[in-house]
Chain A
């Protein structure tokens, strides 16, 4: 027997999750971290080369990309890993599900609320930094910076979706946190090294045809390519990203792949949660 979706119920759960993060200052803390890091990188990123000050948007975004690839997935995984398993372990899940709400609505409400908090803190944090830097930005730079912020939000949502999936599958919070940290290690630290290792070992035999596809299997790489491919100077800095042919580097294609990274884990989570 099918039940229709009541969006109001999704809204009630999402609103609670969002305001919980506002009340406990989670959003504020993350926004401050993003602002401070963005400003420090923008002004002091070239200190090692003996210069201090804003060096242009392309180089700043390239530095911010590295920061975001480390920070945003970690924050998203921490934010979402106990969304369901935490409720289950505390005993509140049973009471929630006794209400006129379906498993799907509860899960979507959780995701939407947490994604809202993450998006809000990302926009507020990097947005404030953008405002402070705006007097030095031209329209093109501003366009790239807005694109960077939006892609950072998508990256966060992809890892949040993975975290919610982990939260549904894990039997307890301890395992869920272990799985979340493990996934962060894999996607952020290990995956690219693994690709490079395979590339070297295979003596570039499969690189040109298969290698670009493998980059699509990691949302962090998709984010990197999205932000790096637009800048000629920065593209040269990233050896790994430049193996991608221009056809596979279309922002729409990359954006769609990122959306798939949001939808697929969430779909698995919904299926398992039911």
Chain B
């Protein structure tokens, strides 16, 4: 049975007058891949640090694996946590393997796992090179390998794909998928919303220290009732025909861009719209229905608050 690996109850963090986190309630279940998104300064990193016990809460309670984030019991919990910080700084004077061995000792992880983990993240050939000579992407891979030391059951990944190339991003999510299948829970932040929208099970949208929305990408779309975007490729000169076909669709709006047309209409009018467009089969060359992206959801919530 799934249980809550992370439980945040009314967490508040104040820095003087600034309310960085302002009454957050959140639960993440075991084996979940959970996304945390929000504007810069929304409180994501502060919440991350509070969940890791790096920052004390001003008010509220945080439990990881059933333990409060302080004291001796949490030290044991920490051995099962992997963390990749947003501003990753490793030791330039050491080789990748030496960095891994250092953190393995601190985490009581098997030192023999260091090389296989470096291989896993694609750094086998650079394992004995000094970190000073690593590219940004290689450092990020090393940071990820470090987070995987000690077979963690819970991963905190703050902007984990920073500096990774597309191949690196794909490999990163492949590893994350494999870990999830083994029951590992991961909570991650990213500014690249397109990247996480298909990969996370649930996500929380933070704004000014509060959780503004929480759920699956699908449920958030439903909640906002964002319009669907019909992307049409038209024959030249077919604009007027389209306008006439949409005359009986008061909720629809249209924008033209050369021979491309974007028709937006409420989700519940989808079939009616398709019927209206079906009558234009002689002038519509192609049609693609675009669901609102996570970016649209994100902006939708921002607009709603504004």
Contact = CB atoms under 8 A, between A and B. Distances in A.
Chains A and B come from one and the same complex: yes
Nearest to B105: A12
B106 A90 contact: no
Nearest to B102: A16
A114 to B, nearest CB: 15
Interface in B50-87: 52-54, 68, 70-73, 75-76, 78-79, 81, 83, 85, 87
B91 interface: yes
A2 B71 contact: yes
A97 B85 CA distance: 11
Given A91-B88, A91-B89, A100 B108 contact: yes
A270 to B, nearest CB: 17
Contacts of A246: none
B49 interface: yes
Contacts of A94: 49, 54, 85, 87
Interface residues of B, number: 30
A92 B75 contact: no
B106 A12 contact: yes
Interface string A116-152: 0000000000000000000000000000000000000
Contact of B103 (A2, A4, A99): A99
B52 A100 contact: no
Contact of A92 (B78, B79, B89): B89
Contacts of A24: 93
Nearest to A93: B89
Interface string A94-114: 111111111000000000000
A229 to B, nearest CB: 43
B213 to A, nearest CB: 28
Given A3-B71, A98-B83, A100-B79, A90 B107 contact: no
Contacts of B75: 3, 100, 102
Contact of B83 (A16, A95, A102): A95
A98 B150 CA distance: 14
B273 to A, nearest CB: 51
B90 interface: yes
Which of A3, A23, A99 has most chain B Cβ within 10 Å?
A99
Interface of B: 49, 52-54, 68, 70-73, 75-76, 78-79, 81, 83, 85, 87-91, 93, 102-103, 105-108, 146, 156
23 contacts: A1-B68, A1-B70, A2-B71, A2-B72, A3-B75, A4-B72, A9-B106, A12-B102, A13-B106, A23-B93, A24-B93, A90-B89, A91-B85, A94-B85, A94-B87, A95-B89, A98-B81, A98-B156, A99-B78, A99-B106, A100-B79, A100-B106, A100-B108
